[in-house]
Amino acid sequence: RCVEKKTLDAYALFTKTVESLRQVFDEQRREPPLRANEPKFAGAALWASSLARVVRDAWVLLHEASSYLTKMREADDGEVAYVQLLAVLNDYKASRYKEWVQSLEAHSSMIGESNLLSKLEIPLMRRRALFSDTDESTQDLMTIRESLVLNGSSGMGCTNLIECNFDQELQCMFVEVQFWERFNGEYTIPYIAHDICNQYEK
Closest CA to 46 of 189, 184, 159: 184
For CA atoms 78, 30, 87, 56, give the dihedral sign: negative
Q: Find the length of the chain.
A: 202
The Cα diameter of the chain in Å comes to: 85
Count the helices and strands in the chain (H runs, E runs). 7, 2
Residue 182 to residue 194: CA distance in whole angstroms: 15
Residue 167 to residue 122: CA distance in whole angstroms: 8
Predicted confidence pLDDT, tens digits, the chain (202 residues): 676 787 788 888 999 999 999 999 999 999 999 999 999 999 999 999 999 999 999 999 888 887 777 777 877 888 899 999 999 999 999 999 999 999 888 877 755 555 555 555 554 555 665 544 444 445 554 554 555 445 554 444 455 676 655 557 777 888 999 999 999 999 999 887 887 777 655 5
Three-state DSSP at 65 gives coil
